């Protein structure tokens, strides 16, 4: 057992441990180990070590990311050399997890069978070189977007971590793909315990996405099809880190997500929509986003622009969000957090957007299709299945001990690999071993202070931040020696991470939790001391802004120095509560405005707010011209409103915030202050609640004891009018049921304010439509813009002119045609509406229907005999407008009605050229099939805008030539073939399309040779074959076709010897082709038989 365990330790160390890179193994003879059938040991190549930066600590350079590495990567079976090779091919699969039958094949084929690609075992260091391969990671160039992401991978990982290889978890990428793309689940949750590798998985997905580029990657040639399949669909991503509060905040999350979406090459339409709207660009800034409701910001910035984009045929696109359990740590007192926010806003996203989230324990939403994938249990199960099928000799007990302790945690596995001692039973015991060795070699006080500061920081800290904070650990405020600090950081490097931006954090959240709650007092940190050090640093900086004051109050509350740090000589200035409050006052630039932070009003923390109020913050201060209490009432968080109201010094504070609370539906606030409201304020509150549709608040106000019956009736009538004005059906129905309301007045108000839903409801109740509308607004036009033909019929009763137009000259018929409402079109045409009436740009109703691609409207208008070929004021004809964006069905319907496709606009362009410039390929195919003329301008536009259209036109010429050949119209076929050959010759200047053009030219030459043969011009046909052969680039199919056709031409021309030679060449290329064999058999017959034939 001891020798077996030692061999397994050396096996893992040779793969992962830095100390064996340039050393021979001890405890076991090297020759014995090399001859062992358990593992062929070889030291790691020194080149991989030298490539790392010498400035970083050793563990940053040499310890790979453990979360993607599986235990079975180096398990070899026992047996003879030949047997061992075949056995290894079945057991060594470094890049997948699970039994062989679970290995994925391809995301396109989606088969369950396993197709193994064994590692080359002739070179026994291949496994080592594979697992230590280095990536070169470079950010991919993004689109020219005015938005820049707030977070990149460099903010969360070191440069070496980004370059290290990743092995394993292919089964997980397959399940993510099948859940999001195959089964189209709205949300896919990847769950796993701390240390199971969730963030590493997200890192690999992002690295393989269009936002980053991996170069010189050895693993790119291995089985990672599913990883690339998932990564290719990622259009945005975000990582929540518990040690970076900004990454766990909703405003930063929204702005970061918007920036990545705008940078995606797939969503160029979204980027254009955002960049053209200055209001959206302003809203995409954090300082603006934090002032508004996050759901409204999400709707305007992300949901609405994405909903206006047509989904592609390539399937769903993915948004990946990692670490939602970390974001829950920073939830506000009103329970706002990123996890809850995602589940709430997911229904507003288009169906082709899917979300992948990770965490330890995530909630579910009833209205969201959600699937959960657990990774820690799956990893442990797969590892045990492997151990049962592998011959481990004496290593089984050791491996089982590691598996029992890991429980699917890759952090535990990596610590076991690094630890030279026997495996511990828990990750805490392993961490205690590391701390024991590290603290024994470093300055204990400095190391513990450093860990205290990093474990309690809300943001990553650079070297200068650490020095500024650690200054306050001495009474003399003596600066920390840089060399000593660097030495301590290097010793602590197994526990710390230095990002690519040179900011330090605790490496894993599990490590941070252990440091804060360790059982042994020697290793347990003092978080209250860390918080006080942060508070002291902020206080000594002075002149703090309101957001910085909230941060200072947070650290003070966490430290609670008057209770926990009274005996600390460093913080004698905070011994009493009053001295602490005075300390807060002196730290602020203006303590009276300390609460004027929009972020902390949107995402409140009652304890910090209470402490700042106690220190002297004014609750009646102005924020953007509004009273602070009024702003808080609009947010609807009653506990905060109650706190501010109780501290306010304004007498009329209740009447000030009551209308705002009623407008935003805050029933708790209204219930709290209703006793302080007079009759006039109650009426105003009722009207505000009615205008916003908050029926529950309205009924509470109307049923209060302060409301008399007369006053109640007047309020209900006012609420009915306000509901008619703002189109609130629920309030209007309540008012009509409660009192005898003048329905005609409600109809008049609804018509004057174009409240269509109210008008329709009152029409259904039998009320006639009012003839009072807004100036220059016709009820007929409003009805035509709606979807109700009943409203249209009611409007026709009170309108005399059926062809009345708006300021842009559009009639009711044009509006109905643009919406595609064929019923309204028939009604208006039956009332003698003028179908040829034009608007300010010269468009008839047909042009509006064509521009909106409304097939039903087009058919209805054509059925009533409208003109097909119409020219607008810009010189565009119906065909030009149809070729821009209309569907192929609309264009086909117009062609059947006599659409002219050879007309020119003012720029001299024909419809097919407009279709080319609009990238409407279906229209190009349809017009080409209907005989549209192809001019030099047509080919120039096609080559300029999209070369695929060039090939569409060339293929159309070849198809037409083949059809003409079948009809024995040889001269017309030759004309098209010669034209196609000439175009291929002219367009071959672009190297990237040269091969495709050569193939088409060769195809045209073969078709031309066939036509010449049918005409009996055999010599010309043979010469054409020779020309086609000169273009051939080692294509056996093309060579065969040329040789066979040339043999037939020689045979028809009575040149038997030349025909026999060409037929033999064709037979060599396709020896089993029946046509070639029959021809060759005829040519090998006696000459008299051939002459007879």
Which range is least confidently modeled, 121-125, 200-204, 663-667? 121-125
Q: What angle do CA 832, 834, 839 make, to 5 degrees?
A: 150
Which range is least confidently modeled, 564-573, 642-651, 743-752? 564-573
Q: What is the pLDDT of residue 18?
A: 34
CA distances to 35, 49, 96, 125, 725 from 22, in Å: 20, 9, 29, 15, 82
CB 952 within 8 A of CB 929: no
Over range 1033-1039, report the average pLDDT: 73
DSSP 1040-1054: HHHHHHHHHHHHHTT
Instruction: Tell me: pLDDT of 285 over 70.
Output: yes
Query: How far is the C-alpha of 135 from the C-alpha of 889, rounded, in Å?
Result: 50
Which is it for strands 234-239 and 353-359: parallel, antiparallel or unpaired? unpaired
Which range is least confidently modeled, 94-103, 532-541, 587-596, 609-618? 94-103
412 or 986, which is more confident?
Answer: 986
CA distances to 241, 255, 458, 462, 499 from 247, in Å: 6, 11, 10, 17, 15
The tens digit of pLDDT for each residue in 326-341 reads 888 888 888 888 988 9
Instruction: Tell me: pLDDT of 320 over 90.
Output: yes
DSSP letter at 310? P
Instruction: Tell me: pLDDT of 227 over 50.
Output: yes
Q: What CATH number labels 147-378? A: 3.40.50.300
Query: How far is the C-alpha of 534 from the C-alpha of 447, rounded, in Å?
Result: 16
The tens digit of pLDDT for each residue in 968-1011 reads 888 888 888 888 888 888 877 666 677 788 888 888 888 898 89
Q: Is the dihedral of CA 717, 723, 724, 729 positive or negative?
A: negative
Question: What mean pLDDT is reported for the chain?
Answer: 76
Q: Is the dihedral of CA 797, 801, 803, 805 positive or negative?
A: negative
Q: What is the dihedral of CA 383, 384, 385, 391, to 10 degrees?
A: 90
Residue 237: band (very low, low, confident or very high) from pLDDT cuts 50, 70, 90: very high
Over range 805-821, report the average pLDDT: 87
**Residue range(s) occupied by CATH 1.10.10 in the chain:** 424-525
Residue 407: band (very low, low, confident or very high) from pLDDT cuts 50, 70, 90: low
Q: How far apart are the first and last CA of the chain?
A: 88
Instruction: Tell me: pLDDT of 1090 over 90.
Output: no
Burial class (CB in 10 A: 0-12, 13-18, 19+), 1078: exposed
Total Cβ atoms within 10 A of residue 58: 16
417 or 485, which is more confident?
Answer: 485
CB 634 within 8 A of CB 663: yes
Instruction: Tell me: pLDDT of 145 over 80.
Output: no
Q: Kindly report the CATH class assigned to 424-525.
A: mainly alpha
Instruction: Tell me: pLDDT of 398 over 80.
Output: no
Q: What is the pLDDT of residue 79?
A: 36
Which is it for strands 353-359 and 187-191: parallel, antiparallel or unpaired? parallel
Instruction: Tell me: pLDDT of 863 over 80.
Output: yes
Q: What is the pLDDT of residue 262?
A: 92
Instruction: Tell me: pLDDT of 920 over 90.
Output: no
Q: Which of 356-360, 469-473, 509-513 holds the top average pLDDT?
A: 356-360
The two tokens of residue 502 are 């040179």
Q: Which residues of 285-319 are buried (b: 16+ CB within 10 A; e: fewer)?
A: ebebbbbeebeebbebbbbebbeeeeeeeeebbbb
Q: What is the dihedral of CA 782, 788, 793, 799, to 10 degrees?
A: 0
Q: What is the pLDDT of residue 572?
A: 58
CA distances to 313, 854, 929, 989 from 943, in Å: 25, 31, 20, 11
Element (H, E) at 356: strand 353-359
Closest CA to 733 of 753, 761, 772: 761
Residue 564: band (very low, low, confident or very high) from pLDDT cuts 50, 70, 90: low
Over range 220-226, report the average pLDDT: 61
**Residue range(s) occupied by CATH 3.40.50.300 in the chain:** 147-378
CB 39 within 8 A of CB 7: yes
β-bridge partners, 138: 213
Q: What is the pLDDT of residue 434?
A: 64
Q: Which of 95-104, 118-127, 820-829 holds the top average pLDDT?
A: 820-829
Which range is least confidently modeled, 601-605, 625-629, 1081-1085? 1081-1085
pTM of the model: 0.65
Residue 298: band (very low, low, confident or very high) from pLDDT cuts 50, 70, 90: very high
Only one residue has tokens 């509406």, namely 833
Q: What is the pLDDT of residue 135?
A: 42
Q: What is the pLDDT of residue 412?
A: 59
Closest CA to 602 of 579, 573, 623: 623
The two tokens of residue 741 are 């309301």
Which range is least confidently modeled, 239-243, 311-315, 416-420? 416-420
The tens digit of pLDDT for each residue in 413-462 reads 555 555 554 555 555 566 666 666 665 555 677 888 888 888 889 899 99
Q: Which of 376-380, 421-425, 522-526, 951-955 holds the top average pLDDT?
A: 951-955
Over range 585-599, report the average pLDDT: 89
Q: What is the pLDDT of residue 248?
A: 92
């Amino acid at each position: 057992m001891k020798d077996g365990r030692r061999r397994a330790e050396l096996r893992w160390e040779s793969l992962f441990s830095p100390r064996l890179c340039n050393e021979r193994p001890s405890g076991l003879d090297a020759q014995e180990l090399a001859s062992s059938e358990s593992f062929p040991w070889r030291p790691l190549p020194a080149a991989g070590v030298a490539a790392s930066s010498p400035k970083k600590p050793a563990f940053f350079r040499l310890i790979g990311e453990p979360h993607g590495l599986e235990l079975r990567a180096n398990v070899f079976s026992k047996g003879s050399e030949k047997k061992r090779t075949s056995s290894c091919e079945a057991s060594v699969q470094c890049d997948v997890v699970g039994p062989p039958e679970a290995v994925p094949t391809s995301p396109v084929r989606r088969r369950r069978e396993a197709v193994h690609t064994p590692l080359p075992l002739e070179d026994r260091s291949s496994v080592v070189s594979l697992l230590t391969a280095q990536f070169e990671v470079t950010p991919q160039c993004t689109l020219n977007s005015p938005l820049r992401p707030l977070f990149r991978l460099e903010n969360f990982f070191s440069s070496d971590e980004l370059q290290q290889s990743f092995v394993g978890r292919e089964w997980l990428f397959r399940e993510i793909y099948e859940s999001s793309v195959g089964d189209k689940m709205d949300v896919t949750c990847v769950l796993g315990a701390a240390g199971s590798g969730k963030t590493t998985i997200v890192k690999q997905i992002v690295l393989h996405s269009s936002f980053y580029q991996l170069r010189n990657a050895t693993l790119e040639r291995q089985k990672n099809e599913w990883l690339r399949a998932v990564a290719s669909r990622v259009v945005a991503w975000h990582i929540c880190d518990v040690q970076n509060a900004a990454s766990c905040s909703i405003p930063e999350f929204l702005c970061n997500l918007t920036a990545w979406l705008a940078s995606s090459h797939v969503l160029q339409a979204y980027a254009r929509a955002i960049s053209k709207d200055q209001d959206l660009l302003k809203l995409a800034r954090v300082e603006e986003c934090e002032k508004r409701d996050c759901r409204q910001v999400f709707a305007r910035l992300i949901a609405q622009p994405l909903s206006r984009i047509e989904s592609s045929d390539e399937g769903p696109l993915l948004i990946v969000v990692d670490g939602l359990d970390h974001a829950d740590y920073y939830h506000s007192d009103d329970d706002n957090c990123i996890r809850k926010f995602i589940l709430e806003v997911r229904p507003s996203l288009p169906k082709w957007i899917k979300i992948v989230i990770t965490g330890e324990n995530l909630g579910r939403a009833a209205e969201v299709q959600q699937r959960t994938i657990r990774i820690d249990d799956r990893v442990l199960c797969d590892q045990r299945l492997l151990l049962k099928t592998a011959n481990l000799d004496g290593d089984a007990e050791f491996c089982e001990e590691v598996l029992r302790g890991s429980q699917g945690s890759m952090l535990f596995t990596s610590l076991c690999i690094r630890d030279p001692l026997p495996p511990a039973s828990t990750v805490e015991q392993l961490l205690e071993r590391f701390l024991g060795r590290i603290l024994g070699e470093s300055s204990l006080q400095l190391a513990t202070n450093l860990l205290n500061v990093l474990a309690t920081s809300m943001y990553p800290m650079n070297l200068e931040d650490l020095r500024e904070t650690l200054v306050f650990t001495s009474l003399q405020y003596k600066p920390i020696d840089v060399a000593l600090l660097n030495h301590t950081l290097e010793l602590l490097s197994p526990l710390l991470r230095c990002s690519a931006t040179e900011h330090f954090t605790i490496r894993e959240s599990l490590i941070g939790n252990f440091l804060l709650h360790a059982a042994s007092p020697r290793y347990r940190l003092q978080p209250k001391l860390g918080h006080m050090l942060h508070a002291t640093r902020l206080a000594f900086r002075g002149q703090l802004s309101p957001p910085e004051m909230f941060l200072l109050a947070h650290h003070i509350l966490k430290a609670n120095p008057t209770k926990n740090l009274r005996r600390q000589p460093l913080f004698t200035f905070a011994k009493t509560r009053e001295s602490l409050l005075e300390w807060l006052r002196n730290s602020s630039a203006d303590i009276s405005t300390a609460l004027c932070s929009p972020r902390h009003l949107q995402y409140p923390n009652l304890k910090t707010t209470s402490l700042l109020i106690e220190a002297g913050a004014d609750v009646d201060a102005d924020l953007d011209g509004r009273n602070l209490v009024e702003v808080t009432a609009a947010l609807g968080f009653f506990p905060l409103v109650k706190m501010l109201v109780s501290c306010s010094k304004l007498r009329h504070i209740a009447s000030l915030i009551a209308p705002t609370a009623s407008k935003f539906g805050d029933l708790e606030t209204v219930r709290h202050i209703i006793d302080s409201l007079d009759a006039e304020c109650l009426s105003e509150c009722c009207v505000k609640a009615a205008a916003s549709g908050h029926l529950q608040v309205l009924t509470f106000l109307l049923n209060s004891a302060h409301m008399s019956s007369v006053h109640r009736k007047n309020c209900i009538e006012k609420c009915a009018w306000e509901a008619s004005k703002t189109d609130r059906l629920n309030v209007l129905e309540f008012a009509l049921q409660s009192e005898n309301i003048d329905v005609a007045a409600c109809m008049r108000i609804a018509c004057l304010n174009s409240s269509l839903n109210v008008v329709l409801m009152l029409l259904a109740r039998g009320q006639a439509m009012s003839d009072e509308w807004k100036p220059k607004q016709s009820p007929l036009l409003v009805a035509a813009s709606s979807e109700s033909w009943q409203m249209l019929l009611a409007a026709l009763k009170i309108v005399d002119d059926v062809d009345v137009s708006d300021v842009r000259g559009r009639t009711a018929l044009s509006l109905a045609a643009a919406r595609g409402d064929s019923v309204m079109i028939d009604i208006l045409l039956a009332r003698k509406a003028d179908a040829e009436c034009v608007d300010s740009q010269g468009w008839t109703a047909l042009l509006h229907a064509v521009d909106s691609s409304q097939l039903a409207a087009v058919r209805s208008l054509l059925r009533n005999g409208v003109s097909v070929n119409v020219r607008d004021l810009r010189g565009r004809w119906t065909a030009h407008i149809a070729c821009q964006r209309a569907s192929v069905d609309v264009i086909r319907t117009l062609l059947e009605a006599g659409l002219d496709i050879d007309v020119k606009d003012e720029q001299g362009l024909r419809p097919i050229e407009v279709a080319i410039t609009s990238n409407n390929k279906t229209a190009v195919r349809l017009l080409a099939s209907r005989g549209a003329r192809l001019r030099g301008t047509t080919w120039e536009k096609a080559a300029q805008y999209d070369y695929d259209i060039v090939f569409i036109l060339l293929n159309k010429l070849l198809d037409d030539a083949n059809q003409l050949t079948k009809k024995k119209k040889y001269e017309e076929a030759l004309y098209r073939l010669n034209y196609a050959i000439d175009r291929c010759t002219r367009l071959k200047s672009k190297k990237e399309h040269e091969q495709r053009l050569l193939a088409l030219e060769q195809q045209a030459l073969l078709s031309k040779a066939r036509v010449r043969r049918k005409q009996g011009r055999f010599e010309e046909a043979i010469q054409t074959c020779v020309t086609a052969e000169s273009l051939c680039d080692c294509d056996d199919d093309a060579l065969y076709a040329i040789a066979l056709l040339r043999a037939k031409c020689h045979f028809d021309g009575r040149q038997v010897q030349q025909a026999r030679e060409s037929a033999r060449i064709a037979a060599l290329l396709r020896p089993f082709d029946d046509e070639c064999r029959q021809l060759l058999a005829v040519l090998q017959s006696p000459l008299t038989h051939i002459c007879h034939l």
